[in-house]
């Protein structure tokens, strides 16, 4: 049981380039999330998908887009990368949006935009 | 891959000591709380959780205490081991329609042999 798997682990982009972070979970969870983590700050929600077929903005959505491809997969796209998007990105999943359900994280994707 | 917690509060303990890590949460309506452990270069790992109708919950070597009066959460680790060295942070579930999870910035635990 792999849990939440995200790729790539590391990526360096030039300003203006685009890329997609891939995420898949094998826990049959309904809800999936993308967070970013910056030094000295807690995890901040970029986008989430409460269930297959729906996506919504989180706290810091600007500069990102997402696709819930199916129940397992939730991708995050940077259309035109900026240095401010240098961060560690975590995909996460949760059984559903009921309080009491733990959220599980992937191992992270380290993105540097130069 | 270390880019998390460069300026975090740090708790240094000796191997075998008990550790207490504290967290102040923000919303009095929060109804569920989670503690995570994050090792360098890895994703947050679930440790233990507690619902707001409880004051205490115990796991293997860990205990979480909840004081709703002062909006305070603590994680106690018994007989701390070098492998416990990591950043620990709490999360609170705010029961909006979205069931929003808000994460703290964390505390770095350093365990000396």
Give the model confidence (pLDDT) of B52-111 as tens digits: 999 999 999 999 999 999 999 999 999 999 999 999 999 998 887 666 788 988 999 999
d(CA B23, CA B32): 14
| Mean of all residue pLDDT scores within chain A | 93
Q: What is the mean pLDDT of residues B6-23?
A: 90
DSSP 3-state assignment of B84? helix
Confidence band, pLDDT 50/70/90 cuts, at residue A41: confident
Confidence band, pLDDT 50/70/90 cuts, at residue B4: very low
d(CA B67, CA B55): 7
Which of B32, B44, B89 faces A99 most closely, judged by CB atoms?
B32
The residue count for chain A? 114
For chain A, percent of residues with pLDDT exceeding 90: 81
Interface size A-B, in CB pairs within 8 Å, comes to 69
CA-nearest residue of chain B to A31? Answer: B98
Beta carbons within 10 angstroms of residue A42's beta carbon? 16
In B, which residues are within 8 Å of A103 by CB distance?
34, 91, 101
In A, which residues are within 8 Å of B106 by CB distance?
42
- Give the tens place of pLDDT for each residue, A73-97: 999 999 999 999 999 999 999 987 6
The residue assigned the tokens 């365990």 is B111
Confidence band, pLDDT 50/70/90 cuts, at residue B3: very low
**B26 or B63: which carries more pLDDT confidence?**
B63
d(CA A96, CA B20): 31
d(CA A42, CA B106): 7
Cis peptide before A97 (omega within 30 of 0): no
The residue assigned the tokens 């949006």 is A97
CA-nearest residue of chain B to A90? Answer: B43
- Give the tens place of pLDDT for each residue, B27-40: 999 999 999 999 99
Which of B3, B42, B91 faces A107 most closely, judged by CB atoms?
B42
CB contact under 8 A, B99 and A97: yes
Torsion of the alpha carbons at A40, A43, A47 and A49, rounded to the nearest 10: 180
Beta carbons within 10 angstroms of residue B106's beta carbon? 26
How distant, in Å, are the alpha carbons of A51, A80, B100 from that of A14?
33, 9, 33
Contact B46, B59 (CB under 8 A): no
CB contact under 8 A, B1 and A107: no
Best probe of the A interface among B29, B99, B107, by most A CBs < 10 A, is B99
Nearest chain A Cα distance for residue B82, angstroms = 21
pLDDT-wise least confident of A41-45, A68-72, A103-107, B11-15: A41-45
How distant, in Å, are the alpha carbons of A9, A42, A59, B94 from that of A50?
25, 21, 15, 15
Instruction: Give the count of alpha carbons within 13 A of A104, CB side only.
Output: 19
Pairing of strands B107-112, B10-14: parallel
Best probe of the A interface among B33, B43, B96, B105, by most A CBs < 10 A, is B43
């Amino acid at each position: 049981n792999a849990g939440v798997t995200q790729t790539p682990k590391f990526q360096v982009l030039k300003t203006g380039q685009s890329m997609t972070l891939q995420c898949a979970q094998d826990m049959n969870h309904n809800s999936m999330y993308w967070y970013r983590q910056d030094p000295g700050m807690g995890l901040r929600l970029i986008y989430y998908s409460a269930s297959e077929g729906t996506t919504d903005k989180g706290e810091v959505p600007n500069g990102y887009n997402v696709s819930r491809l199916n129940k397992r997969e939730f991708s995050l796209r940077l259309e035109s990368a900026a240095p401010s998007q240098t961060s560690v990105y975590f995909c996460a999943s949760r059984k559903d949006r009921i309080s009491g359900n733990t959220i599980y994280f992937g191992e992270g994707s380290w993105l540097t935009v130069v | 891959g270390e880019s998390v917690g460069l300026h975090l509060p740090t708790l240094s303990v000796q191997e075998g000591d008990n550790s207490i890590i504290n967290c102040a949460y923000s919303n009095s309506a929060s109804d569920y709380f989670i503690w995570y452990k994050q090792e360098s270069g890895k994703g947050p790992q679930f440790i233990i959780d507690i619902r707001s109708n409880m004051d205490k919950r115990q796991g293997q070597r860990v205990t979480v205490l909840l004081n709703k009066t002062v909006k305070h959460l603590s994680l106690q680790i018994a007989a701390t081991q070098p492998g416990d060295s990591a950043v620990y942070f709490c999360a609170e579930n705010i029961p909006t329609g979205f069931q929003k999870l808000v994460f703290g910035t964390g505390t770095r635990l350093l365990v000396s042999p």
